[in-house]
Every structure is written in C-alpha cells, then in structure tokens.
C-alpha cells in the first residue's frame, strides 16, 4: 500500500519530468541517517543499527520516478574524486542507468589541511543553466538539494509555468527552499523507495559503487 507521501507526489507531477541531483548535497544530508530496526532487511538483522547505514540507491531512485512519471532524464552533478571506485560508480550511472553527468575536479582552498579539509565543487551555476536551457523539454522539475542558492531558480521556473518539487532531508534544507517550490518532500519519507540499508564500510569512499545494487 502506497504511503501518503507517494500519493501526494504522484498528484504533484505533471507531464514530462526531469530529476536534477546535487550529489554532494544529497549524499551529505543522508550520511548520518539513523537506521530504524524495522527498516533492516532480513539478511542484515544480525547487525546492530550502529553498524548499518542508509545510502542512496540510484537504480531504485531512477526506477521509482520512471514508474510514477513520464521521466525525461536524470541529471547528476558531482565532483570527480579521481579514484578507481568513483570512476566505476560514474561509469555505472552513465552507461548502466543512462544518467546525464556533469563532473569537475574538487577545488582545494588555501586553508585546506588533512586535519581540516576545505575542498568543494559547487554546481549551482551548472544546474541553474541546464534547468533554464532545457526548460522546453519538461513540465515538472524535481531537484534533490537543500541549497538555498536554488531559491531564485525555483521562483524563475514557477514563473514560467513549471511544476517544481524539492527533495531534501528535514534539518538539512535551507529555509528558503520549501516556500520557493510547489512541493517539498523529506527524503526520510521515501527511504524505502530510493535508498538502501547496508553495512558501514571500514574505510568509506564517497559515492561508492555499492549504491548501484
């Protein structure tokens, strides 16, 4: 039986749909999500909740939106960590799931140290430019991000007749975003549709290939 949030989402989506993913923002927001014992799959019941984690399952995510909408594309914006693991992950997204990727190297700031890292790769401009440039190819714009910089973009798209939907995690979303979009959803309420529970890695790597299973 579908939960009330899925029903609400289905009623919100109109016509051709695109999903834009601000990968760093999304991954960071779910990084420390608590695993409720009732959500632990049978093959992981022997682990404690502290040994498990939630992560985005991008195959499930695409299939979910493909099943409930006329999905035009999924665009994925991520730093390139230039590791074999991350290369394999990006390859899977591009070739296996047919995501449209936009990547760039991490920018390292002058105050960066190993103990206090200061590196990032923002995609605010790229996401806003693509969303505007391809505006005639979609009717519903779904954004995975909690970044306040997208307030202007969301207001712009609404002014041009686009349905706007934002997914983020409660407590990790800027206060400007929910009022700027038509619908705001907490990722927690869709955890079984777009996420997976797995064992914590001893040496975690960003956007590991495990997300493809």
Classify burial at 209, counting beta carbons within 10 Å of its beta carbon; exposed 0-12, middle 13-18, buried 19 or more: middle
> What's the rounded Cα separation, in Å, for the pair 131 and 65?
18
For the segment 123-150, what is each residue's pLDDT rounded down to a tens digit? 999 999 999 999 999 999 999 999 999 9
CATH value at residue 139:
3.40.50.1010
User: Which is more confident, 106 or 52?
Assistant: 52
In a domain, 33, yes or no: yes
- In which domain, by residue range, is 23 found? 4-200
For range 110-117, the mean pLDDT: 52
What token pair was written down for 88? Answer: 């394999």
In a domain, 208, yes or no: no
Residue 210: per-residue pLDDT? 41
- Euclidean distance between CA atoms 156 and 97, whole angstroms: 29
Return the bridge partners of 56, or none: 195
CA distance 194 to 196: 7
pLDDT at residue 119 greater than cutoff 60: no
164 neighbors 13 (Cβ within 8 angstroms): no
8 Å CB contact between 213 and 41: no
In a domain, 213, yes or no: no
For residue 48, the 8-state DSSP code is: -
Over 80: is that where the pLDDT of 103 sits? yes
212 inside domain: no
**What pLDDT was estimated at residue 113?**
54
- Structural domain count, the chain: 1
């Amino acid at each position: 039986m579908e939960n009330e949030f899925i029903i609400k989402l289905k009623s919100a989506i109109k016509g051709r749909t695109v999903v834009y993913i601000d990968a760093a923002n999304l991954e960071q927001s779910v990084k420390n999500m608590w695993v409720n014992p009732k959500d632990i799959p049978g093959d992981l019941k022997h682990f404690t909740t502290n040994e498990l984690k939630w992560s985005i399952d991008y195959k499930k995510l695409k299939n979910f939106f493909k099943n409930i909408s006329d999905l035009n594309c999924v665009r994925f914006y991520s730093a390139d960590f230039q590791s074999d693991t991350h290369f394999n992950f990006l390859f899977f997204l591009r070739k296996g799931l047919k995501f449209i990727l936009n990547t760039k190297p991490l920018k390292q700031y002058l105050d960066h140290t190993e103990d206090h890292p200061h590196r990032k790769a923002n995609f605010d401009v790229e996401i806003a430019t693509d969303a505007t440039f391809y505006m005639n190819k979609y009717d519903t714009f779904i954004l995975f991000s909690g970044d306040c910089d997208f307030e202007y973009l969301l207001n712009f798209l609404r002014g041009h007749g686009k349905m706007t939907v934002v997914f983020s995690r409660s407590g990790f979303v800027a206060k400007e975003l929910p009022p700027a979009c038509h619908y705001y959803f907490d990722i927690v309420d869709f955890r079984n549709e777009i996420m997976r529970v797995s064992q914590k890695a001893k040496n975690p790597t960003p956007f590991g290939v495990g997300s493809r299973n």
